[in-house]
Structure formats: structure tokens, C-alpha cells
């Protein structure tokens, strides 16, 4: 049996359900995002950790030019190394039927004379290659799905210049290719890049690595430091052309996944915080108003003998109901959204299974956080209400005191209609209430800017990357650095109008105690195709000596222009060189270091060596070009800009579109909720005045104008600061969503601002319309009989 106070609670809630629901929904939006992001984090992290553990993902990785298998036992003795695996890896060029351009694959060996110990495959279907079957391969799932490959299908591949027909026997996943993309690439291009696994002996033969390996994986013993293992590994492999060892932190797939988690962590905090603070303001406004209206009831309850605590708790229960509703709705919505989004994530991050794990702990936290926010908003009004002695509270509040508004005192009154005068004076009489309402409206204006800015930011990033900076339509990379004649061969391909060589040299860049593994890229000084840009999109000319680095790289190294950088080259004679940072460039994906190509060659003591070329190919000769380049034995990979762009639009674009839509929907809900709630409070506070006006002959429309003029003033006043707040919010969120892999520039377009204004004006118009309808239900007689 409910107590009479709880019955009163239920009925009061029934009477003000519109407002309770609007506050609850705004809160629910914040909670939905929080629970969605937190649950995604939990899902991804727990799945990742279990996958890495079950499939024995290595801790340390290293490439080497050629090391004899006899070295294995020495590697196994490295202090702190629990398990060591050696492999052969390389790349293959693929000729896929139906795909005009060539694709490429990373081919990885599977041990055939011993069990596989690290980076175990998860076979989705089929089987592993059988011993002695040189043509059998297992294919990575993302690539297989992109082409609809199944066990039994065949693929033509060029491995180390030899053309072979390979038979797919299995489809698999690997913990080292959770993000199945070319190392260092930001976006997956599953149509043109795949991962193949085949028997070690056969692959070694194909790469002329009989009895040797070129890749090492190490599982570090519990408690041991990967750093020590890496140092020792580097020392042992150095004579064999070992590149710098790295740990999971620098592993391309692991890093990409970590970046995504970092973004989710940021978003799980930033957006909900804004939404929950708006909801706190709203619940404060609603309940403060309720308590003021029930002043006499509170006095009566106290006169009957209810304690202040009981009465106070009664009003806090309103907040609890709002928060509980929000938690249920927000939690449900968060789980629905999360279940959908996790499927999209599963397309990017390949796990054997990726299930949505609701973060139940987060439900508790969400409830506590929003209850805390709501309590803070309400506690002041509750305290004021229970503090009043019953006799005093039972008397109606003294008449509201008004004075001339500032606008009138400075002599502008003749420009104001009576309606506007009322509005101005009301606003000035309760400046804090006006401020908080305007603040809520400003946030409602600002929030829709964020998804707009995110979309524009991605759009800008890609147009800079693909249209302004990179003017080539094809990039060709060679299997091994080639001589000047290789460039001549490329130039002679059909349709090639411009060919600009590039030279990439893998190196470790070191400044002080910080370092970074990457490839230093040498470009011609007067590059026309692949250009380097500054933060104003102006082309930057390469200095004759020294480095131009991504601004982000300078930040990572803690270096500035003029600082000397140590280059530990990981190729050829592996010299250790020094080069000065001559300037920084602005780029948005990955980090790069550039040098003038001849200056790089001089440092490397080599002639006209090239690693590949950027091409401008005449599209009239497109088919000829592709046919020839597929055959070219020295070409390792061909990257076609339009193809990558198309695949981006289909995959990543779709995902960004979905996230943006979710945020935009939430923004609209908040915008509507805030305006509706403000209008309802205005209606409740002014109902007596409005009823009086109706009685003395004002039409409904005229009365609506009186009620709305205050809100119109506030809405108009809130828009400019709202746009500013939105910009700041967008900056913060874009910053949060920026990682080393992708750095989102803050792009604010008039379109985003206009959209935000349209959203807030439409939701204003809609909520005004909804509230105005209630004017017809004004109790003209009742309101005149009762005192306020």
C-alpha cells in the first residue's frame, strides 16, 4: 500500500509528465551515449584481451633482412623471452578477376615442421595448408569477404616475380590483423589488400630465404620487461639486417585498436557530461517551480507533523523518478545503439566473435552520476521550502516586485510593446532563471554544431589529403629499392604523364630519450604531385638539407624547428645519421618525415635509387596502364586514389555517417527538450496572468504572444553564445576524437552554424506550438478564484 505522500507523488508526476519526460529524455540521451560508449569499450577490450591471450598474440616484433634458422636457439635464450617464433613474410601482387587494378597481400609463413606457438590463427572455415602443398593458402577474412572467396577458390599471385596460382583452403583471423590493413594505413581497403598464410618451407623458397627467416615474434615471460627483450633482440639481429624491434604499443593493428578505444573513452565522457549538466539545469528548473507552487501544501504537511526530512525526501523522489526513468530509457537506448554499432565495429576490427557486453557497472555509475546532478539542481529549492515555518509558508508569497527594466530606463520604452515590456521586466526580475534558461538554449544551439563539424572535419581531411596534397591518381611501390632505370620503366607505362620518384628509408628517429619508428620519405624538391602543405594549405618546398616533419611527429619527439634528430637507418649499411628539423608540415593521418630526395640519397651514399613513384596517369589509357602494371614484376603495390576513396565512402564513411546521425538525433532531442521545458515553466509561472488576459478579452493568439515573447527574447539572445559554445564543444570533441592515426582538424562551416540555428528555431517553433495548445486548456475560472 502506497503512503499518501507517495500517492501525491504519483499524481503530481501524472500532472507534469510532459516536463518530467522532457528532462528524462535529455538525461537519457547523455546516459545512452555514456552506456553505449562504455559498453563498446568493455566489449572491445574484453574481446581483445581474451583474443590476444587465447591466440597468444606476441609482445615483441621484429623484421630482419635474412637470419639463418640456426639463430632460433640463441633467440630462445634471450632473458625474459618466454616463446620465440620465427617466420618468413613478404608481399605478393594479386590479380583478382573482376578487379581492374592489382591488389596486394602480405604473405606470412605457418610453421610446417613444428606447431605454431604465437599469433595463432582462428580458422573461420576450411583448414590449414597441408605439408608439402606449396599452393595452398589460408586467407584473411576481411579480404575473403570483400571478394566472396571461399575455400576451394583460386587466386593468381605474383610472389617475388614468379606468377603462381594459389588455392584457398581456409579463411582465418589473426590477432595481429584485428585491423586488416596495410601497416600504417589509416583506412582499411579490404578489396585491395589481404593477408595470406602459407607453409614456411614453400614461402621461404619463393622469397629465396631457404633455411632462413625474416620476421621474429616473441612472447615476453610474465614479469619481464619487453624493453630488455627488444634491446637484446636488436643486438642479436643487427648483423643480419635486423630492423628495430617494437612492442604492441607500436604494432599497427594493436595501435589502431587502441586509438579507437581512446576515442571512445573521450566520447564516453565529453558528450554525456554536457547532456547531463543540461538535464541537471532542467530538473532544477522544473522542481524549483513545483516546490514554489506547492508552498502551501508543504506548510500543511509540516503543520500535520511531517518532518522537514520527510518533506525534503518527498521532493527529492521527483528527481529520483526522473533519473530512474532516464537510466532505464538511456540504458535501453544505449544497449540498442551499442548492439548496432558493435556490428559496424566488427567490420573494421576482426575478432572471431564480437559480442556486445552491456557494462552493468556503468548503469550504476550512470544512475549515481545523474542522480547526483539532479540532486544538486534541486537541493537548494527543497531546503528553502522545508526551512519556512508552516504558518509563514501557508500565507501566499508576497506580490512579486517589479521595476522598470534597463531597456526602459535608458529611454527605449517607447519602442517596446506592452507585451515586450512585460517580458523584459520578467527576465530582469529573475536574472538567474533567465540566465540558466538562456544557457540551456545556448547549449541546445551549440550541440548540433558538433556532429556537423565532425562530418566537415572528415570531409576536409580527405579533400586535403586526396585533392590538395596528393595530386597523383596512382602510387606505385617497388618490391625493393630500384635504380634510376626502374623509374624509366615506370615512366614508359602506357598513359603515364607525370612520374615523380620517391625514396623511403626505414629508420628510427631519435631526439633525446624519445624515438619513433617510421620511413623517411625522400621527394623531389619541386614536387608537383605529392605536395607537402603548411597549416594554411600552402605548398611547402623541401629544404636542400634537413627534415620536414609532421607537426605531430615534432610533438611526439618533443622537438622543434632547428633541433638535430638522430636517424638510425634500418636499411643497407644501417648508418646512424643526423639531420636537423627545418620545418613542420600539417597533415592529418599518420606521422611522416620528409627529405629532399637527393639529400637523402647523399646521406645513404647511393645513386638514383627509388622506392616507387607517384603517377599522373591519363585515364584514356587506364585499362592499358592497369594491364601492364599488373604484369610488371618489380611492382609490389599499386594504390589507386579513386578506388581507395570509393572503398572509404562505403565503409568508413558509412560508419561516420551513422555516428554523426546518432549524435545529431540526440542534439535535436536535447534542443527540443530544453525549449519545451522552458516554455512549460513559463506557462506554469504565468498561467494566472495569462488567464486574466483571456478573461478580459485577449484572444488565444494574443495571449500566446505574451507568453512567447520572453522565450523569443531568450532564444534570440542564446543563439550567438550558443554558436560560440558549439564551436568550443566541437573543438573539444574533435580534439578528443583525434589520435596519432587520424588527427581531425576543426572545421566550422557556415553550414554547420546555419544547421544549428535551424535546429534550435525549429524545435523552438515546435515546442511553442505544443505549449500554445495548452493555452486553450487554461482554467480561466479556477485560476481567478485561487490565489497564486
What residues line the site for other proteins (CB under 8 A)?
Answer: 398-403, 418, 421-422, 425-426, 429, 688-689, 692-700, 702, 780-781, 784-785, 787
Pick the closer one to other proteins by CB: 167 or 421: 421
Rounded least distance, CB 694 to other proteins, Å: 8
Minimum CB distance to other proteins smaller for 131 or for 402: 402
Residue 751: is it exposed, middle or buried by C-beta count within 10 angstroms (0-12/13-18/19+)?
A: exposed
The residue (of 88 and 778) whose beta carbon lies closer to other proteins is 778
> CB within 8 A of 492, min separation 6: which ones?
none
Least distance to other proteins, CB of residue 405, Å: 9
Angle between helices 652-695 and 252-293 (to 10 degrees): 10
- What minimum distance in Å lies between the beta carbon of 737 and other proteins? 47
660: exposed, middle or buried (C-beta count within 10 Å: 0-12, 13-18, 19+)?
A: middle
Closest separation in Å from C-beta 402 to other proteins: 5
Nearer to other proteins, 541 or 702 (CB): 702
Q: What is the CA angle 118-124-128, rounded to 5?
A: 60
769 grid coordinates: 506550438
Closest CA to 465 of 533, 415, 513, 525: 533
Q: Which is nearer to other proteins, 536 or 701 (CB)?
A: 701
Label residues 390-403 b or e (16+ Cβ within 10 Å = b).
Answer: eeebbeeeeeeeee
8 A C-beta contact, residue 617 and residue 496: yes
Instruction: Give the other-Cβ count within 10 Å of 23's Cβ.
Output: 33
Residue 58 makes CB contacts below 8 A (sequence gap 6+) with 85, 118, 119, 176, 217, 218, 219
Closer Cβ to other proteins, 20 or 693, answer by number: 693
Q: Which is nearer to other proteins, 710 or 740 (CB)?
A: 710
Per DSSP bridges, beta strands 103-110 and 193-199 are: parallel
Q: Smallest gap, in angstroms, from Cβ of residue 693 to other proteins?
A: 7
Report the nearest approach of other proteins to the CB of residue 776 (Å): 8
Give the other-Cβ count within 10 Å of 53's Cβ.
10
Concatenating the DSSP letter of every residue in 691-706 gives HHHHHTT--HHHHHHH
**DSSP state for residue 349 in the 8-state scheme:** B
The residue (of 618 and 689) whose beta carbon lies closer to other proteins is 689
Phi first, then psi: give them for residue 656, nearest 5 degrees. Answer: -65, -40
As a whole number of angstroms, the distance between CA 127 and CA 150 comes to: 11
By C-beta, is 691 or 733 nearer to other proteins?
A: 691
The conformation of residue 161, written as its DSSP 8-state character, comes to T
Residues 6+ apart with CB under 8 A from 431: none
Report DSSP state, residue 392.
Answer: H
User: Please, what is the minimum distance in Å from the beta carbon of residue 676 to other proteins?
Assistant: 23
At residue 155's C-alpha, the angle toward residues 149 and 161, to 5°, is: 150
Q: CB of 433: closest distance to other proteins in angstroms?
A: 14
State the minimum distance, in angstroms, from the CB of residue 697 to other proteins.
Answer: 3
Distance, in Å, from the CA atom of 319 to the CA atom of 195, rounded to the nearest integer, reads 55
Residue 384 C-beta: closest distance to other proteins, Å: 20
Q: Which is nearer to other proteins, 251 or 694 (CB)?
A: 694
Instruction: Determine the distance from the C-alpha atom of residue 524 to the mean position of all C-alpha atoms in its chain, rounded to a whole number.
Output: 35
> Nearest approach, Cβ of 15 to other proteins (angstroms)?
19
List of residues 6+ apart from 56 with CB closer than 8 A: 83, 117, 118, 119, 120, 175, 219
Closest approach of other proteins to the CB of residue 293, in Å? 16
Shortest distance in whole angstroms from residue 710 CB to other proteins: 10
Helices (H) and strands (E) in the chain, counts: 24, 20
The residue among 489 and 788 lying less far from other proteins, judged by its C-beta, is 788
Q: How far is the C-alpha of 363 from the C-alpha of 368, rounded, in Å?
A: 8
Measured from the CB of residue 699, what is the shortest distance to other proteins in angstroms?
5
d(CA 166, CA 136): 6
Residue 468 or 781 having the CB closest to other proteins: 781
β partners of residue 651:
none
The beta-strand segments (E) located in 53-118 are 60-68, 81-87, 89-95, 103-110
Residue 247 CA: distances (Å) to CA of 121, 452, 587: 20, 37, 25
CB 424 → other proteins: shortest distance, Å? 9
Distance CA 278, CA 273 (A): 9
Q: Name which of 463 and 699 has its Cβ closer to other proteins.
A: 699
Give residues with Cβ within 8 angstroms of 261, minimum separation 6. Answer: 41, 44, 45
Q: How far is CA 765 from CA 373, 675, 722, in A?
A: 29, 9, 17
Distance CA 135, CA 157 (A): 10
Nearer to other proteins, 145 or 692 (CB): 692
Q: Supply the minimum distance, in Å, between the C-beta of residue 31 and other proteins.
A: 38
Shortest distance in whole angstroms from residue 425 CB to other proteins: 4
Name which of 46 and 699 has its Cβ closer to other proteins. 699
Q: Which is nearer to other proteins, 11 or 785 (CB)?
A: 785
* Closer residue to other proteins in complex, CB, 630/694: 694
Measured N-to-C along each axis, helices 4-15 and 308-348 cross at an angle, to the nearest 10 degrees, of 50
Please state whether 307 falls in left (phi above 0), alpha (psi between -120 and 50) or beta: beta
Amino acid at each position: 500500500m502506497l503512503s499518501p505522500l507517495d500517492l501525491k507523488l504519483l499524481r503530481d508526476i501524472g500532472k507534469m509528465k510532459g516536463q518530467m519526460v522532457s528532462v528524462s529524455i535529455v538525461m537519457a540521451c547523455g546516459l545512452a551515449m555514456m552506456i553505449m560508449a562504455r559498453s563498446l569499450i568493455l566489449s572491445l577490450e574484453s574481446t581483445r584481451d581474451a583474443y590476444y591471450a587465447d591466440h597468444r598474440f606476441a609482445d615483441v616484433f621484429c623484421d630482419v633482412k635474412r637470419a639463418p634458422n640456426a639463430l632460433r636457439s640463441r633467440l630462445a635464450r634471450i632473458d625474459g623471452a618466454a616463446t620465440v617464433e620465427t617466420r618468413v613474410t613478404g608481399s605478393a601482387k594479386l590479380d583478382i578477376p573482376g578487379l581492374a587494378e592489382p591488389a596486394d597481400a602480405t604473405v606470412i609463413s605457418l610453421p610446417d615442421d613444428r606447431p605454431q606457438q604465437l599469433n595463432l590463427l582462428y580458422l573461420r572455415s576450411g583448414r590449414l595448408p597441408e605439408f608439402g602443398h606449396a599452393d595452398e593458402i589460408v586467407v584473411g577474412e576481411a579480404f575473403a569477404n570483400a571478394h566472396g572467396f571461399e575455400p576451394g577458390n583460386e587466386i593468381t599471385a605474383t610472389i617475388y616475380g614468379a606468377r603462381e596460382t594459389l588455392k584457398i583452403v581456409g579463411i582465418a583471423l589473426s590477432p595481429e590483423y584485428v585491423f586488416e590493413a596495410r601497416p600504417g594505413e589509416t583506412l582499411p581497403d579490404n578489396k585491395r589488400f589481404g593477408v595470406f598464410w602459407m607453409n614456411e618451407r614453400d614461402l621461404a623458397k619463393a622469397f629465396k630465404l631457404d633455411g632462413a627467416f625474416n620476421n621474429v615474434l616473441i612472447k615476453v615471460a610474465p614479469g619481464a620487461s619487453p624493453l630488455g627483450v627488444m634491446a637484446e633482440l636488436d643486438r642479436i639481429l643487427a648483423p643480419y639486417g635486423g630492423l628495430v624491434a617494437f612492442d604492441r604499443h607500436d604494432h599497427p593493428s594493436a595501435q589502431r585498436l587502441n586509438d579507437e578505444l581512446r576515442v571512445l573513452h573521450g566520447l564516453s565522457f565529453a558528450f554525456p557530461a554536457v547532456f547531463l549538466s543540461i538535464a541537471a539545469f532542467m530538473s532544477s528548473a522544473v522542481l524549483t517551480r513545483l516546490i514554489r507552487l506547492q508552498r502551501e501544501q508543504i506548510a500543511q504537511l509540516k503543520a500535520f507533523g511531517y518532518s522537514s526530512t520527510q518533506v525534503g525526501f518527498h521532493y527529492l523522489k521527483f528527481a529520483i523518478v526522473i533519473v530512474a526513468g532516464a537510466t532505464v530509457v538511456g540504458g535501453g537506448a544505449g544497449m540498442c545503439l551499442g548492439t548496432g554499432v558493435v556490428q559496424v565495429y566488427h567490420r573494421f576490427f576482426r575478432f572471431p566473435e564480437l559480442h556486445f557486453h552491456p557494462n552493468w557497472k556503468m548503469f550504476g555509475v550512470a544512475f549515481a552520476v545523474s542522480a547526483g546532478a539532479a540532486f544538486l539542481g534541486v537541493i537548494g529549492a527543497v531546503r528553502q521550502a522545508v526551512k519556512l515555518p508552516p504558518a509563514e509558508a501557508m500565507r501566499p508569497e508576497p506580490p512579486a516586485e517589479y521595476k522598470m527594466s534597463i531597456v526602459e530606463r535608458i529611454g527605449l520604452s517607447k519602442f517596446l510593446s506592452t507585451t515586450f515590456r512585460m517580458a523584459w521586466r520578467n527576465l530582469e526580475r529573475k536574472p538567474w532563471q533567465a540566465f540558466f534558461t538562456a544557457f540551456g538554449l545556448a547549449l541546445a544551439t551549440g550541440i548540433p554544431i558538433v556532429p556537423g563539424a565532425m562530418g566537415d572535419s572528415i570531409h576536409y581531411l580527405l579533400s586535403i589529403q586526396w585533392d590538395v596534397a596528393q595530386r597523383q591518381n596512382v602510387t606505385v611501390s617497388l618490391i625493393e629499392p630500384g635504380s634510376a632505370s626502374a623509374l624509366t620503366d615506370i615512366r614508359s607505362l602506357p598513359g603515364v604523364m607525370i612520374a615523380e620518384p620517391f625514396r623511403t628509408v626505414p629508420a628510427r628517429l631519435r631526439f633525446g630519450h624519445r624515438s619513433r619508428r617510421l620511413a623517411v620519405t625522400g621527394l623531389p624538391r619541386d614536387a608537383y604531385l605529392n605536395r607537402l602543405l603548411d597549416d594554411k594549405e600552402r605548398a611547402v618546398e623541401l629544404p636542400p638539407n634537413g627534415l620536414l616533419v609532421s607537426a605531430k611527429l615534432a610533438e611526439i619527439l618533443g622537438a622543434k624547428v632547428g633541433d638535430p634528430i638522430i636517424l638510425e637507418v634500418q636499411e643497407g649499411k644501417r648508418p646512424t645519421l643526423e639531420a636537423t628539423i627545418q620545418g613542420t608540415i600539417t597533415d592529418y593521418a599518420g606521422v611522416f618525415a620528409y627529405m629532399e630526395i637527393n639529400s637523402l640519397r647523399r646521406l645513404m651514399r647511393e645513386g638514383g635509387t627509388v622506392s616507387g613513384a607517384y603517377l599522373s596517369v591519363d585515364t584514356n589509357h587506364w585499362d592499358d596502364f592497369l594491364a601492364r602494371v599488373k604484369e610488371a614484376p618489380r611492382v609490389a603495390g599499386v594504390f589507386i586514389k579513386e578506388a581507395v576513396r570509393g572503398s572509404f565512402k562505403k565503409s568508413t564513411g558509412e560508419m561516420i555517417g551513422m555516428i554523426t546521425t546518432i549524435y545529431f538525433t540526440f542534439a535535436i532531442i536535447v534542443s527540443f527538450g530544453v525549449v519545451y521545458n522552458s516554455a512549460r515553466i513559463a506557462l506554469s509561472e504565468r498561467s494566472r496572468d495569462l488567464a486574466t488576459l483571456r478573461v478580459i478579452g485577449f484572444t488565444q493568439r494574443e495571449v500566446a504572444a505574451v507568453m512567447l515573447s520572453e522565450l523569443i527574447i531568450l532564444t534570440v539572445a542564446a543563439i550567438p553564445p550558443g554558436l560560440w559554445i558549439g564551436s568550443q564543444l566541437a573543438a573539444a570533441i574533435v580534439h578528443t576524437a583525434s589520435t596519432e592515426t587520424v588527427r581531425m582538424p576543426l572545421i566550422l562551416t557556415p553550414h554547420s552554424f546555419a544547421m544549428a540555428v535551424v535546429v534550435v528555431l525549429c524545435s523552438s517553433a515546435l515546442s511553442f506550438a505544443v505549449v500554445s495548445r495548452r493555452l486553450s486548456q487554461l482554467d480561466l475560472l479556477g485560476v481567478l478564484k485561487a490565489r497564486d
